[in-house]
Structure 1
Amino acid sequence: MRKMAVIFVALACWSSLVWSQGVHERFVGTWELDRIETQTESGAWTLAKTRWGSQPIGILTYDSAGNMAVQIMRRDRTPLSSAGLAEGQSVNSEALALAPVEEKAAAFDGYTAYFGKYSVREVEGVITHQRIGHLVPNQATLSVERHFEFLDDALVLAVPGGIRLVWNPAN
């Protein structure tokens, strides 16, 4: 009887480990932002109006070593007017310095990015992003938690305030 109990516990631990690795592995890869939604009082999900507009674009990457990076931006960002910053050219730091402050502020406001490490607590349905760098310097080094779920192939990350980001696997 004791052998059976030991075998049962060992199998339970092993299956839990396999399941855990399976959840972790589902994150690994590159994801494209499909939409950002907000929950209405009735519980329905609708497109959110964010500082990135109602149809932002973004990319999210997780690797198997625990590294992550995310970028989200307005789809309709206005190009800077400075000479030397023509569309299709590499960024010229001198021309960027000459761009009007208002244009640089608008470009900054319509974009966010950070990178760091991540860890998954699958029982709680939580992924933690331990930021190492962020576009906004005082946001770097913060850890943020996102509740997650997988809906078919999509990864859904919920943030405080009734907002969720829906990510699809990148093609």
Structure 2
Amino acid sequence: MKALAFWTLAFVVALTGLSVAQSAEKQDAGPGSAREKLIGAWRLVSMEEPGPDGKVTRITDRKGILIYTRDGHMSVQVMLPKSESGVSNDYVQNGYEASFGGYDVNEVAHTVTHHVQGSVTRGLVGKDLPRVYQFSDVYLILKSARPDEHWSVTWEHY
């Protein structure tokens, strides 16, 4: 009898925990949530990054798209202009940036973390890339959460 009471109590506790977790998940993805605001396609407006002299430069001649799906997938592609076609770094290879994978949103920390499953730069595959997000009117501004990276990207909802 004690065993039955124990398993009944364990089942009720597990069911309650599941219900609370599902409620929190639904609450986080509500109409006004950041996760809900992220969903859809975003057009690249501009990028800001430090130049060789350390001064931040606003760049507007790049093309790009960022997509977040409701079921937790993301994809980003950015094409640099012909004058930058030879640029390569941790994110860009020969003037092109592309990666895809999953994502998570932490509304308390204002971060979206990209879980890279594939990328044009293989060094990103398997990495988690936290991004600080900010919404401003129709814009989404993403910045690296790393203190050694000083760039930001402004996106506009299609």
Q: TM-score, normalised by structure 1?
A: 0.62
Task: Report Cα offsets for 1:62-106 as digits up to 9, x if no partner.
Answer: 000000000011133699xxxxxxxxxxxxxxxxxxxxxxx8x8x
Map 1:1-171; keep pairs closer than 5 Å.
18=27, 21=30, 22-38=33-49, 46-48=57-59, 55-76=61-82, 108-159=93-144, 160=146, 161-170=149-158
Task: Report Cα offsets for 1:110-162 as digits up to 9, x if no partner.
Answer: 00100000000011001000000011122111110000000111000012422
Aligned residue pairs, count: 124
Opposite residue 36 of structure 1, the aligned amino acid is: M
Q: TM-score, normalised by structure 2?
A: 0.67
Deviation of the 1:17 alpha carbon: 5.8
Distance 2:47 2:77 in 1: 14
Give the match for residue 10 of structure 1: none
Question: 8 Å contact 1:120–1:126 — kept in the other structure?
Answer: yes
Tell me: CA distance 1:71–1:77, structure 2 relative to 1, closer, same or farther (3 Å).
Answer: farther
Deviation of the 1:16 alpha carbon: 9.8
Quote the RMSD (CA, aligned, Å): 3.2
Question: 8 Å contact 2:93–2:121 — kept in the other structure?
Answer: no
Identity of aligned residues (%): 27
Deviation of the 1:24 alpha carbon: 0.8
Question: 8 Å contact 1:20–1:122 — kept in the other structure?
Answer: no
Distance 2:134 2:124 in 1: 25
Question: 8 Å contact 1:24–1:120 — kept in the other structure?
Answer: yes
Deviation of the 1:23 alpha carbon: 1.6
Distance 1:151 1:46 in 2: 20
